[in-house]
Amino acid sequence: MMLREIKAFAGKHVLLLQGPLGPFFRHVARDLEENGARVSKINFNGGDWLFYPRRSVPFRGRMEDWPNYLAQVLAEQKIDVVLMYGDCRPVHRCVREQAERLGIEIGVFEAGYVRPNYITLERSGINDYSSLPRTTDFYLKQSESTVAKPLPLGNVFWHAALWAISYYIASSFLSPLFPHYQHHRRLAIREAFPWVRGLWRKYYYHIKEREIRRRLEKEYSNRFFLVPLQVYYDSQMRTHSDYASVDDFIRDVVSDFAKNAPPETYLVIKHHPMDRAYCDYTRVCETLAEMYNAQGRLLYVHDLDLPTIFKHTRGVVVVNSTVGLSALLHGLPVKVCGRSIYDIPSVTFAGLLSDFWERAASAKPNQEVLQGFRNFLIEHTQMNGSVYKRLSDAGSHAGIIWNSGLSLFSVLATKKLDRQRLGVILKPVPISGRQLGLSVVRAEAVKQAYYRRGAQR
């Protein structure tokens, strides 16, 4: 299988770090290798190994040793590109600094900015780390461009649930092989069961909250503000905002709403669907409602069909959730309380949260700028597909449609390394931790020697 879109990886040595739950990175590796790339993979726990057991190496060291270990791998193995899922996970936080020192490109996969039929691949990082322009004039010039209609994914829940259950079981049983690993959430066999509990709660709340949904679409229509929550372990929220937790965000918004919102309005706090099995903010909301005398005006719900509820919403308040972008595309005013790629002048509300409640009606997004942003975003950062479920008609092992407009591809296509001039001899891809044990030279010495050879990409 030859994919013209990823021929830019031909001749490159690609290092895969931690991927999403499931075999997605193994399929990505097949696509890259069939198009001329060399691929290496580092695993950090038993779940990583389960989905990528062959031609991979384990990192079993302590987290404080990981940055130096990574620096040595990047230099000694002559890595050209590092690909990872999420750039704020504990094992990924040092990657940007290490790669920049050696002129190595990074690509970050994430769930799609534009939901539900896309995944993200950005060259520099996600959200506030993104290199996408943030100016109105730039996107006005993009408004006439068009993008192809994506292939529909359908339901991915059962695929994600299967991969998650398998991942946590493997991570639990194989934890003695990775004694120092630190995950971004609890990593034990019992973590497989919340997915079952979450499925039960999905149907439970769908029935229980039927009356609330009816009232939102009838007597409360255009009288409420929607606050979609993010998952409790969302590193994007912690890294790209000043909130330490979802609880802090809820407290801040409820307090501001109670003090500044018109008295006839309501605040609807929507639970994140992936958090059904883990967190419940009912007591927090009840306590805040009593504290700020907002009983009857504060509604906490779990199950809402967003496209439907958007038709009745006065405004949306987010940290940096992709729900904010969906709301903008539905023409709703949005206040971003964190840092996000779509927080652009004339698109989102630029004032204080305390002013948003009164001024939301006049703060709807400029549709021309927003359309230009969406088109540019899809063309340069999005790929049709899912990290959990393969599109049958995608024409790739990964089950995604590789987008030739991605900025990472264009950079790789123009950055050509003359290895003969540098006298570089590629080493075989290591297959064991001992083979990738590297030389005893310190990481900094490796980097300096690499620079002296003139390896400037």
Q: What is the set of domains in the chain, with CATH numbers?
A: 4-155+380-452 (no CATH), 209-378 (3.40.50)
Q: Taking Cα atoms as reference points, which of 126, 121, 137, 141 lies closest to residue 380?
A: 121
pLDDT at residue 370 is higher than 90: yes
SS3 state of residue 357: helix
Where residue 109 falls among pLDDT bands split at 50, 70, 90? very high
107-112 long-range contacts (CB < 8 A, ≥24 apart) are: 107/81, 107/82, 107/83, 107/408, 108/83, 108/84, 109/19, 109/20, 109/83, 109/84, 109/85, 109/387, 110/85, 110/86, 111/322, 111/387, 112/322, 112/382
Distances (CA, A) of 331 to 135, 253, 367, 406: 19, 22, 8, 27
pLDDT of residue 277: 66
Helices (H), 37-133: 46-51, 66-76, 95-101
Q: Is this model's pTM higher than 0.85 or not? A: no
Would you mind telling me the total number of residues written for the chain in this entry?
A: 457
What whole-number distance in Å separates Cα of residue 119 and Cα of residue 109? 7
Q: Range with the lowest mean pLDDT among 45-49, 179-183, 336-340?
A: 179-183
Measure CA 226 to chain center: 22
- Which residue in the block uniquely carries the two structure tokens 């993010």? 230
DSSP type of residue 275:
G
pLDDT of residue 413: 83
Helices (H), 102-156: 136-140
| Average pLDDT score over the chain | 86
Q: Residue 98 contacts by C-beta under 8 Å, 6 or more apart in sequence?
A: 67, 70, 71, 74, 104
What would the pLDDT profile of 287-345 be if each residue is shown by its tens digit? 999 999 999 999 999 888 899 999 999 999 999 999 999 999 999 999 999 999 999 99
What would the pLDDT profile of 422-438 be if each residue is shown by its tens digit? 333 333 333 333 334 44
